[in-house]
Every structure is written in C-alpha cells, then in structure tokens.
Chain A
Amino acid sequence: MADGQFVIIDGNELSFEEGETLLQVAARADIEIPTLCYDERLSPAGACRMCLVEVEGSRLMQPACSFKATGGMVVRTQTPKVERNRRFLLSLHMADTEQDRERAEDANPSRIFDLADVHGTAGCFPKVEQKRSGRPQDVNKFIEFRPERCINCSLCTRYCEQIEAVSAITLAGRGAETTISTADAKSLTDTTCELCGGCVAVCPTGAMTEKPALAYGKPEKELEKIRTTCNFCGVGCQLDLNVDREANRIVKATSPPPGTTVNDGSLCVKGRFANDFVHHEERLTSPLIRQEDGSFREASWDEALDRVVSGLQGIADRHGEDALAFISSSRCTGEENYLFQKLSRAAFRTHNVHQCAAT
C-alpha cells in the first residue's frame, strides 16, 4: 500500500493500492455501489453506467468500476445526482427490456428489479421499440438467447473470452441493433462454444438462459437451491441444484456466486446441464446381475457386492493377484480414489491400479 495514499469516499478516509478502482476501494469499506455490467473476474466495460459516482473536480460523474483511485481524490456515492442517475437508468433499462417484474423473472432473476427495490425508478418510461435480433434457428439444446431482455452489458462475451478463453460469442451490430451473436449467427454447437453456460450465469437479466429450465416453466426464484458437489469429475466444483419441491424435481443446476467456492462461479457443460439423467425413466435404481442367458435381474446391494467379491477373489485364486487391475472412474473424487487404491493394494495386494482421467 502506497504510503499516505488516501481517497475520501463519503467522508471516509480510505487507503488504496496503486491501480485500484473506486469500486474496489469502496467495497473494502463496505460502501455499496450498484452495478449491472461489473464482475470482479472480468475487465470492466463501463457500459451500464449504474456505478457512476461524483468525483470532486470532475464535471461529469465517473464510473466507479473502472475509474482509478488517486491520492486525495474526494468521492461521493450517495448524492441526489448519483441517485437520480440510478433511477433514470433503471427506468431506461426497463423500458428497453421488460417493465413487468413477473414477466421479467419468468425464468432467471433480474438484477434490474433487485436494484430498483433499493434505489427506486424514475417512473415508467415509454416502451422502447425492440431492434435486437436473436438466433431462433440456433439448434443447441442448452442455451437460449432472448434479445428482447438483453441490456448489452457484455458480461457474457467477456466471460466467454476472458474466463472460458473460447470467444464463441460477441457483441454484434451497432447502436440500437447491438446484440449478442456468434460468428455469422450460427448455432452455438457450430462454433467454438463449449456449452459451459457461464454466459448464462453472468447474465443479469435472464436474456441468456437455460433452455431446459425455460421449457420447464418455473421461475428460478420459486425453486429451492441445494448446494452439492458435482460428481462428474474429481475437481469438486460446488453447484446448486435448483429443485422444484412440489414436483420433487431438479430443474437445473446453477453455479454459486464467484468468490464463494473453489470453482469461482464457473461450471462445465456436464455440471451445469447434464442432470436430466436424475429423473430419466431408464435410470438404474438398483444393481442388476447378469444371468446365464445374458439377461439382467434386479438384486440387492448386498447380493451384488458379494458377487463382485467372489468373482474377483476367484480370479486372484486361480491366476494370482496381478491378474487383477483396478481402474477408477474419472468421476471419482480424490477421497474415493484413495479408498480405491487401498482396496487394490490392501485387499487384493496388487499395484495394478489406475485412474481413467490420469492418462
């Protein structure tokens, strides 16, 4: 921290590091500045203008998300002008997207309305004509882009570029026609897109949304979030299963907020979208044992495990322990892999143990 370097925000003398933005300095002091296009993981866009604050000596308000603190700067985040701007922008965004909260939140929650709860609006502006085009012909199964809800905050494109390092989507067009598109408006599946759904996670308005959940038709706010660990691989990403209690169904998986879990707000296509097997009618719910004629019959876990043990032991007896090899699934966690090699080495005395993701 540079010696004697202070900014004064709302009367509080706050120290800062070279290069820090006003938003970062304010956040450390628990001074909340509303934002719509900011994500601490991404380079700031300065596009939504929600974070504008007054800086002494500057004629115009400045964006806290990108304006760098310098020694002696005097900043105000609560003035009538600052508050008026927030109300103006919220009304403007609603007029440009959706003015009815229920409709706006038919799927994902809307940060616009959350902020309006705190800051109010400037009233109901006349509805703005919609000029953004979408990609109705996009055949991918997971992600829907609803242009009429997009506020062009570019969180999705910045996420795709800077975190996913994929750059499958872009701001396209200009002015009122600015929208989110892929190259030549192709389906996501015909691009470099990995269907990670990060663009959905960062979207503040539900313009980028999960197709399966949209089809299910229940707003995210009415679902219960149950924190769990993704079991598709050993990384241990945390995810929230969004559950419809009444129907006892998982509707979708969402990533916990950035900065709170090891996956820092991200998930991959499997963690986020591959959960329909849970309720699939062909899902196996009990062990099956193959019979002489090749068909399967249901069995209890005890019976099935006994059968495995006797089979393995039979091989070891007849051909020696090194005739066995143990290969664990890439879905196993570190702890499971530890137990698995224990099984191999201690119970069957062979070092033939491997993990299928370790190649």
Chain B
Amino acid sequence: MLPKNARREEVLDRLEEQGGLKPGVVQRVHQETGVPEADIYGVATFYHLLAEPDVEVRVCQGLTCKVLGSEALMRDVQSTGTSACYASCLGRCDQAPALWRAHHQEPPLHTGLTESHSGLAIDLENHKKYKLKALQKLLAQGPDWVLGQLETSELTGRGGAGFPAHIKWRAIRGQAETERYIVLNADEGEPGTFKDREVMLRRPDLVLEGLAIAAKCLEAADIYLYIRGEFQGPKQAMRDALTRLQETGLLDGLNWHFVDGHGAYICGEETALLEALEGKRGMPRMKPPYPVEKGFRGKPTLIQNVETIACLPAILRQGGEWFRDLGKTEAGTKLYCLSGHVRRPGVYEVPMGSTMAELLDQAGGVDGNLKAFSPGGASSGFLPASEVDIPMDFKSLRDAGSMLGSAGVVVLNDTVDMVEASLMQAVFFEDESCGQCAPCRIGTQVIRQTLERYLESKDVAVLAHLNEVMWGMGEASICGLGQAAYWPLQSAMKYFPQEFGLEADSAND
C-alpha cells in the first residue's frame, strides 16, 4: 500500500539526479516523493547504474567483446588507476572490445552500413531533409487506412518476438478505455545488438514520425521514449530532431517524455519496462493481462521497438505492399547487426530472409574460418557453420530451434571454444536475470557454475542434472529471459558435443 499522494514514478529520475545510491540519497528521495525508504532502496539496488555510482568505466563482457579482448582492455584501464567494472553488452559490439564512461561526451562511432538506395525501408545512410510526409498522409486518409496498410505490410515486431504489429494496434483501438499510451522500446541490450542505436543516431526523424503516427492513430497523447541509459548520444539526436520537427506544427497535441534506462537489460522486456516507467524494480509482470489491455498505469499501451516504429513512415509513404515485397521470405527489409569475427562489423539493411552467407558478404567476410554464429542475440543460442545458408527470418530460425530475435548476429571463428562461449552467455543471463522467479534466478546460476566447473575439471560428470534444469527453466520461467537463457548451452551441446566430452547425439534428448 503506497501512501496517498506518493509519487513513485519520480523515484528513478530523482535517484539519478542525486547521483545514485549514495549515503543520504534514499532518505532524501523518500522525503521528496513520499515513497517508503525501503522501496526506494529496493529500486536503487536493482539498477546497476544507480547501485554502483562510483564506477568510472564499464568494460563490456558481452560475447563479442569478450572474444575480441575485453580482458586485456580491462587490464589497461585498471593499470591507469581508474575504477572499472565489467558490464553486460554495452550495445557497441561493432567497436569491440568496448567500454563506456558515464557522463562522458563520446565521439561519433564509425560502423559498417548499407549504401543508400531506394529499396530500403529505413535507409540509415539517407541524409535528405525530412518532411513528415507519412504523417500528413495519415492526417488526410485516417486511421483505418493506416491500419489497412500496416496489415498489408505484414510488419512484425523487430524487438525480438516478431509479433505482427497490426494486431497490437487493432487491439488497442478496440479498448473501451480512452486513456492510452505509446511507449518506444529503445532499451536495446540484447548482446550483439546495436541497430536501434544507429537508427536513433541517423534517422531519429523516422522514429519520431512513426511514434506520432501511432499516437494519432491510436488516439494517445502521451509518448514515452525509454532509452537505454548508456545511449546518451542517440538520445540527444532524438531530442534535437524533435525540436526540429516540432517547428512544423504537425506534432502539436503530443506530449513527449524522454525516460532514461538505468542499467538493467531486463527492462527491454516490455512489462519490466512498464514497471521501470512506474518507478519500480524492473521485474516482468505476469501476462495476461497484456499491455495492449493493461499497460502503463494500467491503461492500454502500445510498446514497440525502435526499428519497428522506424518502418512506419516508409510503409505509409510507399504502401504496405511495397514494404511487404521488399522481403525475401518474410516482409520488409531488416537491420542485421554483425559483429565478432567479421571484417566490417556494422548494421546492414537487407531483405528479410537473406541468408547468413549473404550477411557475411555484407560485413566483408569472416575473419578466419567460420565455426558458429549466434543469429539473434544471446537468447538465440548458436548455430554451426554448416547452417550459413539458412534464411535469417523469424520462421526459418524458429524451425531450426533458434530465433531471429533482435538480429544481433555474432560470428565466431574456429579459435573460439564453445564451452567458453556458452559460459560468456551464461554469465550474461545470470547477471541480468531480474531474480523474481526461481527457475531463472537459480537456473542461470546453476548453468554458469556448472560450466565453470566443467572448464576446470573437464569431467562430464559435472554436467549431470543440466538437462533437468534446462527443461525447468524453459517450462517454468516467467519471461523470455529465463525461458531462453539455456539456449546457448543447449545448442552448443547439440552442435559441438565433443567439446563437452559428450557422444555426438547424447545431448539431443
């Protein structure tokens, strides 16, 4: 029971303003907001950027960075006397090994990109002046026309789940409740993924226009942009673009709220994100009810990934059919992030369903001999080199027991030990589990611990019970994190059993 008039939604911002969890801060935020001190402490300790305010440098220990030398980088940083800690994927795998300094102006990043041409929905290299044409078209043709185009376009969510966008939009339009919200999910944190960063930096106008389209279409006035805390550059680009676009008057009537993430991967999960917006620990909610019905403040809420939203203007300008036909196996063009052992890491926009081999071409080819790849972030597990011809779309990868997820493709050459690679992913999931439900909180620990023991002893006996633990995580975890956290290990055991001291097919039960 929260005291009446307590202002919980302000808690995270105020903690941030006062420099995070330092002596006296909890009490002050309590006095300012009326939220119980213990609750504030519970919130502050959940978010790493708030809980460890004195760390100057965060060195990435994501798979890509780890493989490309984050340990050496850490030694360099520490040798200068700087306080440093490891952090989960920083979303700059193209710069691997990466680090991040809080409150530090960073130079623009150079990354590999697809050359601009007219067959791209987002087109990161397009520098033409922007005119909000799609928004004008919506205003002329009305929401039903938009929904029709959206359905024809077959646009699916680019945040990981691949859920058809028009279904969510229609569900919200069907709600009796008229207080509705639009939320941009820009908490990009899936290891290997850095496309939303580039979209916000290079095409913020597309994102803002897409959000305005969603708001007008769903009759929402308030738009929340939840941007990963480490993405200060992209956030600034979005703010600048907003100021520019607001001058046109076309965005009148819309309220834009920029909200910072505070260092918790799980807040990319949509209901954890909502909890964070409400000033709480980012623990995913149980579904149902889904956000389209009860989301932010318990009201119908559209939550959409940056890339998904950025596809909207092109869909309205050129038509749903045009967008749909851009893809090979599924609709549209798609941003794929390539990192790891490739010559030109970057964000490449190619037709949905391009094969892994085609993506490798875009990225200048493999550095060394391809051994395995992780097709869509840590949650997608690993596929062996023999799968290079697989179309990189939602369905094909699901059928292969993997997933497209966030399309953060990490490429590994034959210098990589798959047990070690599995351990790197295991460390990520253990660090980022919200800790709410037992299968994930404890299961991620069991996996990490078992892999460490195996690496030390090379004794297959330590792998006993793993199958049962992986089964339980998949069946009983609340959210996608726990449900997929064992995929890297399970797939590595399946495709590289000899590295685990197993017979070729004993891991496939």
- Interface residues of chain A, those whose CB is within 8 Å of chain B, are 45-49, 52, 60-61, 63, 66-68, 81, 84-85, 88-89, 91-93, 95-96, 122-123, 125-126, 128-129, 131, 151-152, 161-162, 165, 167-178, 181-184, 191-192
Query: Are A92 and B442 in contact, with the CB atoms below 8 A?
Result: yes
The contact sample of 13 A-B pairs, CB cut-off 8 A, is A49-B477, A49-B478, A88-B469, A88-B472, A92-B472, A93-B438, A122-B468, A125-B465, A169-B38, A172-B46, A173-B51, A175-B433, A181-B45
**Interface hit among B368-376, B414-422, B443-451, B499-507:** B443-451
Query: Are B465 and A126 in contact, with the CB atoms below 8 A?
Result: yes
Report chain B residues within 8 Å CB of A168: 36, 38
| Bound CA span A45–B286, Å | 9
Query: Are A175 and B434 in contact, with the CB atoms below 8 A?
Result: yes
Query: Are A178 and B441 in contact, with the CB atoms below 8 A?
Result: yes
Report chain A residues within 8 Å CB of B434: 174-175
Name the one of A49, A84, A93, A176 contacting B435, with C-beta atoms under 8 angstroms. Answer: A176
| Bound CA span A131–B476, Å | 22
10 additional A-B residue pairs with CB within 8 Å, beyond A122-B465, A167-B39, A178-B436: A47-B438, A48-B437, A129-B449, A173-B45, A175-B430, A175-B444, A176-B433, A178-B435, A183-B30, A192-B37
Report chain A residues within 8 Å CB of B13: none
Residue with the highest number of chain B CB atoms closer than 10 Å, among A67, A85, A129, A172: A172
Residue with the highest number of chain B CB atoms closer than 10 Å, among A45, A48, A85, A184: A184
Report chain A residues within 8 Å CB of B438: 47-49, 89, 92-93, 96, 151-152
- Which residues of B, 159-199, contact A by the 8 Å Cβ criterion? none
Query: Are A49 and B476 in contact, with the CB atoms below 8 A?
Result: yes
Query: Are A182 and B38 in contact, with the CB atoms below 8 A?
Result: yes
| Bound CA span A113–B476, Å | 20
Question: In the complex where A85-B475, A92-B469, A161-B1 touch, is A175 in contact with B450 (Cβ < 8 A)?
Answer: no
Name the one of B37, B436, B442, B468 contacting A93, with C-beta atoms under 8 angstroms. Answer: B442
- Which residues of B, 14-62, contact A by the 8 Å Cβ criterion? 23, 26-27, 30, 36-42, 45-46, 48, 51
**Quick check: is B9 within 8 A (CB to CB) of the other chain?**
no
Query: Are A47 and B26 in contact, with the CB atoms below 8 A?
Result: no
Question: In the complex where A88-B476, A161-B1 touch, is A95 in contact with B442 (Cβ < 8 A)?
Answer: yes
Question: In the complex where A49-B438, A161-B1 touch, is A89 in contact with B472 (Cβ < 8 A)?
Answer: yes
Query: Are B39 and A129 in contact, with the CB atoms below 8 A?
Result: no
**Quick check: is B222 within 8 A (CB to CB) of the other chain?**
no
Name the one of A61, A125, A178, A191 contacting B38, with C-beta atoms under 8 angstroms. Answer: A191
| Bound CA span A126–B468, Å | 12
Per-residue interface assignment for chain B, residues 473 to 501, with 1 indicating a CB less than 8 Å from any chain A CB and 0 otherwise: 00111100001000000000000000000
Report chain A residues within 8 Å CB of B471: 84, 88
Report chain B residues within 8 Å CB of A183: 26-27, 30, 36-38, 40-41
Name the one of B431, B462, B475 contacting A81, with C-beta atoms under 8 angstroms. Answer: B475
Per-residue interface assignment for chain B, residues 453 to 476, with 1 indicating a CB less than 8 Å from any chain A CB and 0 otherwise: 100000000100100110110011
**B50 → A minimal CB distance (Å):** 11
**Quick check: is B281 within 8 A (CB to CB) of the other chain?**
yes
Report chain A residues within 8 Å CB of B453: 126
For A163, the closest partner residue in chain B by CB is B1
Query: Are A170 and B441 in contact, with the CB atoms below 8 A?
Result: no
Report chain A residues within 8 Å CB of B437: 46-49
Report chain B residues within 8 Å CB of A151: 438
| Bound CA span A46–B479, Å | 12
| Bound CA span A63–B477, Å | 10
Name the one of B38, B48, B442, B449 contacting A170, with C-beta atoms under 8 angstroms. Answer: B38
**B437 → A minimal CB distance (Å):** 5
Query: Are B475 and A184 in contact, with the CB atoms below 8 A?
Result: no
- Which residues of B, 356-409, contact A by the 8 Å Cβ criterion? none
**Quick check: is B295 within 8 A (CB to CB) of the other chain?**
no
Name the one of B45, B433, B436 contacting A172, with C-beta atoms under 8 angstroms. Answer: B45
Query: Are B435 and A191 in contact, with the CB atoms below 8 A?
Result: no
Name the one of A48, A66, A126 contacting B462, with C-beta atoms under 8 angstroms. Answer: A126
| Bound CA span A259–B36, Å | 29
The 3 closest A-B pairs by CB, nearest first: A170-B42, A178-B435, A183-B37
Name the one of B38, B286, B445, B477 contacting A167, with C-beta atoms under 8 angstroms. Answer: B38
Query: Are A49 and B439 in contact, with the CB atoms below 8 A?
Result: yes
| Bound CA span A92–B39, Å | 28
Query: Are B444 and A125 in contact, with the CB atoms below 8 A?
Result: no
Query: Are A61 and B46 in contact, with the CB atoms below 8 A?
Result: no
**Quick check: is B264 within 8 A (CB to CB) of the other chain?**
yes
Report chain A residues within 8 Å CB of B441: 152, 175-176, 178
Report chain B residues within 8 Å CB of A172: 41-42, 45-46
Query: Are B472 and A177 in contact, with the CB atoms below 8 A?
Result: no
**Quick check: is B432 within 8 A (CB to CB) of the other chain?**
yes
Query: Are A128 and B38 in contact, with the CB atoms below 8 A?
Result: no
Query: Are B439 and A89 in contact, with the CB atoms below 8 A?
Result: yes
Query: Are B439 and A92 in contact, with the CB atoms below 8 A?
Result: yes
Query: Are B42 and A174 in contact, with the CB atoms below 8 A?
Result: no
| Bound CA span A151–B445, Å | 14
- Which residues of B, 328-344, contact A by the 8 Å Cβ criterion? none
| Bound CA span A175–B482, Å | 11
Query: Are B472 and A184 in contact, with the CB atoms below 8 A?
Result: no
